[in-house]
Homo-oligomer: A and B are copies of this chain.
Amino acid sequence: MIANDPYAELERRFARLSAVHRACAILNWDRSAMMPEGASEDRADQLATLGVIAHGMISAPDMPELLARAEEAARSLDPWRAANLREMRRSWVHESALPAELVEARTRATSACEMAWREARKNKDFTSLLPTLSEVLAVMRRVGEAKAAALGTSLYDALLDEFEPGGRSARIDTLFAELRGFLPDLLGRVMEHQGRAPKPLVLDGPFPVAQQRKLGEELIRLIGFDFSHGRLDVSEHPFTGGTADDVRITTRYDEADFARALMGTLHETGHGLYEAGLPRAWRRQPVGNARGMVLHESQSLLMEMQACRSDAFLAFAAPRMRAAFGKDGPAWTADNIHRVYTWVVPGFIRVDADEVTYPLHIMLRYRLERALLAGDLALADLPGAWNEGMRELLGIVPTDAAVGCLQDIHWPDGGWGYFPTYTLGALAAAQLFGAARKAHPGLLEAIGKGDFAPLLGWLRANVHGKGSLAGTDEILVEATGAPLGTAAFKAHLESRYLSA
């Protein structure tokens, strides 16, 4: 039976589907932030079952006809509904490309591998991860093949498209080539420039977790994080989860070093503000979702790298840090704290990398995951290839797998095709922050007073509130006057790391 108003029927079905997805988002958050370790199989079964149920809903036999009939009448829809219908089609293409057994196999394989990864990383033992990671790789190849056939793309682009709608590796190759031509030379110049400046003084701890938490909460509340619609908790691997009405951000405290956890919290706050700012009227429909991971990462990196590592913000935050920990002295000046937060050092760990070397970490992962998926690199050879790439791109070689190819959760977790979005997000962040400053010449000055309203207002209007109304490039063109490029990012790095 096909409804009289196929578009309305689709909205009804996608609202149901959204409720299942939102439930899964909370269960996923709980798994990382709350769940006792002994419950991992139980939770994997819950998530796999809900995944199969969601898959069954979207690949109902009458869905193609419903979509086709709604599309025939699409001219009568307003722009939001038209975009919503387009996003429904997109979801359907991605989901219906996969048979139910493959969806379930993916969920089970990634759940098992994620748990094995936690152990393997703890024990610095890549070999112990091989069985479950091979399973994940095999499943992701099947997923990629199936989606490639449906989308008419390469296997890699099909996986990428899930995270970044319309993202294509040809475009990434171009952008990354520009960065590859620029960054190693810049890194040399930065190291030379930095060598002439005073080294940052160490911020001596210990920093009790309770005080770190309090400072983090104070700052993110001020930035605009709404605790009546969100929480800040702890997890092994910081992330933003939950729903637009119930944003769950996590961080990881270290009593010897507050600076990292604090900046991590500000980073996740950028993600969280994007979710919280999605169009209120479309929260339960596909068009109300965030556009993709490039814009999502742009929001976290804009908050962390552009706004919160600025001189202006750190001058505002420094006295609050001193008060939080009862500190004083030369290490605790705004200048020194800024030096701590903008010091460039090639290192093993992606999440600890500075802005200049971070894209090199990403290029390595992008290269390796393509080779693994294509079968050009055997999984058993990953540690060697990883170390080789680190030597080539960053000039250093990890001392063990925990600080090498075991450091990230993405591959165990099924996030193949995700890594490039970090660096594309960094490009977008620089581009958007530049445009926001142009629109509000007093923006940085306001941030220096702890006033994020101009920035947040601009982001709500130009990014958050658009949801998935348009594509990433369309949103960027409207907001900044240009599609995604490297110019703003390059200018930002040169200005921050080579001037003064």
Tell me whether A227 and B46 are in contact in the complex, defined as CB-CB below 8 angstroms, given that A27-B23, A41-B245, A53-B53 are known contacts. Answer: no
CB-CB contacts below 8 Å: A130-148 with B: none
Partner of A45, one of B19, B27, B34, B39: B19
Q: Could you say which of B20, B38, B47, B49 contacts A245, with CB atoms under 8 Å apart? A: B38
Residues from chain B with a CB closer than 8 A to the CB of A37 are: 228
- A460 CB contacts on chain B under 8 angstroms: none
Q: Are A19 and B46 in contact (CB under 8 A)?
A: yes
Contact assessment for B36 and A34 in the assembled complex, using a CB-CB cutoff below 8 Å? no
Majority secondary structure of chain A interface residues (helix, strand, loop or mixed): helix
A20's closest neighbor in chain B, by CB? B49
**Pairwise interchain contact B243-A42, C-beta atoms closer than 8 A:** yes
Asked if A39 contacts B246 (CB within 8 A), the reply is: yes
In the complex, the answer to whether A46 meets B22 with C-beta atoms within 8 Å is yes
CB–CB A50/B19 < 8 A:
yes
List of B residues within 8 angstroms of A30 by Cβ: 26, 30
Does A284 sit within 8 A of B, measured CB to CB?
A: yes
State whether B38 touches A50 (Cβ < 8 A): no
Determine if A124 is an interface residue (Cβ-Cβ < 8 Å): no
A322 CA / B461 CA spacing, docked (Å): 59
Query: Are B26 and A46 within 8 A (Cβ)?
Result: yes
A233 nearest in chain B by CB position: B34
Any B CB within 8 A of the CB of A43: yes
Cβ 8 A contact of A36, one of B27, B52, B228: B228
**Docked CA distance A30–B48 (Å):** 20
User: Which one, B23, B41, B227, B284, contacts A50 given CB within 8 A?
Assistant: B23
Given contacts A16-B49, A23-B50, A50-B19, contact A38 B284 (CB under 8 A): no
Assess whether A471 is interfacial by the CB under 8 Å rule: no
Query: What CA separation (Å) do A42 and B244 show in the bound complex?
Result: 9
User: Is residue A35 within 8 Å, beta carbon to beta carbon, of the partner chain?
Assistant: yes
CA separation between A46 and B26, bound complex, in Å? 10
Contacts of A36 in B (CB 8 A): 227-231, 246
Closest Cβ–Cβ distance, residue A44 to chain B (whole Å): 10
A226 beta carbon closer than 8 Å to chain B: yes
> What is the chain B residue whose CB lies nearest that of A246?
B39
Chain B residues, CB < 8 A from A22: 42, 45-46
Interface string of A273-289 (1 = CB under 8 A from B): 00000000001100000
What is the CA–CA distance of A226 and B34 in the complex, to the nearest angstrom? 15
Cβ distance A275 to chain B, nearest Cβ, rounded Å = 12
Which residues of chain B are near A34, meaning CB under 8 Å?
Answer: 34, 231
Q: Which of A46, A47, A228, A230 has the most CB of B within 10 A?
A: A46
Q: Please, how many angstroms separate the alpha-carbon atoms of A39 and B41 in the complex?
A: 28
Bound together, the chains give a CA A441 to CA B229 distance in angstroms of: 54
Q: For A16, what are the chain B residues with a Cβ–Cβ distance below 8 Å?
A: 49, 52-53
Interface contacts beyond A16-B53, A23-B47: sample of 10 additional A-B pairs, CB < 8 Å, sorted by A? A19-B46, A22-B42, A22-B45, A34-B231, A36-B227, A38-B226, A38-B228, A38-B245, A39-B229, A42-B245
The 8 closest A-B pairs by CB, nearest first: A39-B246, A19-B49, A42-B245, A38-B229, A38-B228, A23-B46, A19-B46, A39-B245
Query: Could you name 16 residue pairs across A and B whose Cβ atoms are closer than 8 Å?
Result: A16-B52, A16-B53, A19-B46, A23-B47, A26-B26, A26-B46, A27-B27, A36-B230, A36-B231, A38-B226, A38-B229, A38-B245, A38-B246, A41-B245, A42-B246, A53-B53
